Chain A
Amino acid sequence: MADNTTHSNTGRAGTEPTEAKPVEAPKMLKAKINGVDVEVKAGTSIIEAFHQNGQSIAHYCWHPGLSVAGVCRLCMVEIEGNPRLQIACNTAVTEGMVVNNASEKVKEAVKWGLDFHLINHPLDCPICDQAGECGLQDQYMAYGKYDPEMAERKVKKHKVVDLGPRVVLDTERCILCSRCVRFTDEVSKSNELGIFNRGDRAEIGTFDGKPLNNNYSTNVVDICPVGALTSKDFRFRQRVWFLREHNTICTGCSTGCNTRAFYNKEGVFRIKPNYHKDVNGYWMCDVGRDVYKFANKEARLLDARVRGEWMVPSLAAKKTGEALRGGGNKVAFVVTGQYTNEEYDALLGFAKNEVGTSNVFHWINNPETIEAFDGLLLRGDRNPNTRGLMDRLASSSLSAKWPELVQGLTSGAITTVVVAGPENQSQFPDLKAKIMELSKAAKLVWLQAGKNDQLEALDGDVTLIPLKTYLEKDGTFVNYKGIAQTVKKGLSIVPASLSITEVVELMRGAPAVEAPSDVDQVGVGRIYNEFTLVRGNL
């Protein structure tokens, strides 16, 4: 289960975690939820107490990363001694509180609360992208009235509103929970969205068609509990119940947001954030949303290419190894910050011990903006593991400077260059120039997951070896502040491709094999979200 369904009191994304000072243990309160004794920290709301203790409770507008709106009126609970039902999101647990959401009174209120949400909803599930992961659908299953009595005309509102580069709005589907508006007010602080008009004429939107165009805009699609906000990138491409989920780490920058990739045998279709208290909170940026496109087959180098001929990757790696071993300082290695610690260890070890070179160069793709930070999540260093690479270069005393490489290539002191190139080519504005520069070497070995026309067109002694992407291998990335996070192999898109570790093993002399019988993980997944989580065993 993804971590982002863990509800927590801690602040929102982008805030640096404050070092826990040795303070006295927080005051704990005892309460009873649906007959079960629970203990929660003072200040915990009832809805948080429900979630912390695995109890299900209906809700739409409450989101742990946003302020409390208290408007959907679904999280009704009965508190002993209080004749009036209360909303769990805005009521704090008190010592000895006895609370339930199982009484007939609560059930009736939730049933009707849901029905009020639905009377003006178009119920166009068959053509709605949210179907299958919809808060209305999922919660209706558990709490619904199953006896609709609305026979009047529904309110007509705007459909297919082009909100911006990434988001489409259907205001008839909107239940006015205000999550998206709170997001642009409180998290992105970009203030594009508002709720205009009042009563049942109210609609979310942007002022006068101004686009929703901030780098966090797709989060509003994630937090929209219904199909009102949908992703332009994802909509109509897959039914969500045909997708599986793989928990991973975003490689789009050095923040290392925890994410989920949604995929099936046709490839990866979208990325959503997973909650991580210290890294990304509940959110991720739009740049990170695209960190799957280079992994899909159509963007990939499918086989090795040696002097213009296609070759099985493992064989190409093995042959390359024979040429490199013992090459000494005539061989240079150029490494980007795109790979795992384990891969760096293998490659640097091979360079130092088997090749016997100290010429290892760190390719920094955007030195001018590498220190940039947008204040929320996105960092100028568009590599997942610059820190891991630099730590390893330092500890192996490999600290060659780029001008030495240029000089070595010009003078002929360096004849062979092995490049661990960019996995995410779109983040390397200098890629073209670097290929030109490095292709001056008499022998060029380029390791990379994605295809690149410029590389494939190079003449001479050029070897291209296809690599696995971060979704297809195990490994560790160290983010900008030193948090080490692991990725696991989740799926296989180009079965013949290799990790750098595997390339090094082959170069060291391990036997080459045919493409591993690594079958695509095909299948129908179960989409989990905050609403299905709390649904119990339906």
Chain B
Amino acid sequence: MSFKLSADGVKYVQNELTRYESKQSAIIRALYRGQDENGGWVSPDVVAELSRVMDIPASQIEEVSTFYTMFNKQPVGKYHIQVCCTLTCGMLGGRELTDAMMKEAGCKTYGDVSPDGLFTFNKVECLGSCDTAPMLQINRDPYIESLNTEKGLQLVRDLRAKGGRQ
């Protein structure tokens, strides 16, 4: 098994196991932790490791990790940019914004990683900030709102300037 949770990670997961009324409830938090420690995505190794640490069947953890969209099933760039494209955001330019930013970042399709390893783009469903449409979320950070194409392109440039992988 090539992925191992850090000692802190194991402690965190074990704590989550007793946090809720049943230990299964820890799966989502554990997957977030595994994803974070695995460079942003949930590889099969992550599921296997969590199954071992949590003593929960891997098939059950895999069901959860593939059901929820916030677990990435393939590698992502340092900045996983998720642009809302539902309804209001769709009407107000979310889709066009995504495509423009992807072009600037050098991403060809949704989900792929830009050659510099910095960017992955996905169109996502309503993020609950329709009054600031179009808007996006990077990784799991607070929202970046009230965008237009110019601001979106500038955001890509700023992130690129901020730098590559640590």
Report which A residues bind B (CB closer than 8 A). 191-198, 206-208, 210
Contact = CB atoms under 8 A, between A and B. Distances in A.
B67 A206 contact: no
B109 interface: no
B62 interface: yes
A207 B44 contact: yes
A193 to B, nearest CB: 6
Nearest to A190: B57
Given A208-B44, A208-B47, A192 B67 contact: no
Q: Is the interface of A mostly helix, strand, loop or mixed?
A: mixed
A207 B67 contact: no
A208 B66 contact: no
B21 interface: no
Contacts of B67: 196-198
A210 B47 CA distance: 13
B59 interface: yes
B48 interface: yes
A198 B61 CA distance: 14
A412 B60 CA distance: 65
A417 B161 CA distance: 92
B48 A208 contact: yes
A392 B63 CA distance: 54
Contacts of A197: 66-67
B58 interface: yes
A206 to B, nearest CB: 7
B20 to A, nearest CB: 21
Contacts of A194: 59-60, 62-63
A192 B62 CA distance: 11
A374 to B, nearest CB: 19
A192 B59 contact: yes
Nearest to B69: A198
B39 to A, nearest CB: 19
The size class of the interface chain B forms with chain A is 10 to 19
Contacts of B47: 207-208
A198 B44 contact: no
B77 to A, nearest CB: 23
A193 B59 contact: yes
Contacts of B51: 207
User: Which 5 pairs, one residue from A and one from B, show the smallest C-beta to C-beta distance?
Assistant: A194-B59, A191-B57, A207-B58, A208-B44, A196-B66
Contacts of B59: 191-194, 206-207, 210
Of B51, B61, B63, chain A has the most CB atoms within 10 Å of the CB of B63
Nearest to B68: A198
B62 A208 contact: yes
Q: Which of B44, B47, B57, B60 has the most CB of A within 10 A?
A: B57
Contact of A196 (B48, B57, B62): B62
A196 B63 contact: yes
Contact of B63 (A192, A195, A210): A195
B50 to A, nearest CB: 11
Nearest to A184: B59
Nearest to B57: A191
Contacts of A210: 58-59
14 contacts: A191-B57, A192-B59, A193-B59, A194-B62, A194-B63, A196-B63, A196-B66, A196-B67, A197-B66, A198-B67, A207-B44, A207-B47, A208-B58, A210-B59
Contacts of A206: 59
Contacts of B57: 191, 207
Nearest to A196: B66
Contacts of B58: 207-208, 210
A206 B59 CA distance: 6
Interface string B32-72: 00000000000010011001000001111111001100000
Nearest to A191: B57
B66 A198 contact: yes
A194 B57 CA distance: 10
Contacts of A193: 59
Contacts of A198: 66-67
Contacts of B60: 191, 194
B60 to A, nearest CB: 7
A196 B58 CA distance: 12
Interface string B59-92: 1111100110000000000000000000000000
Given A195-B63, A208-B62, 5 more contacts: A194-B59, A196-B63, A196-B67, A207-B58, A208-B44
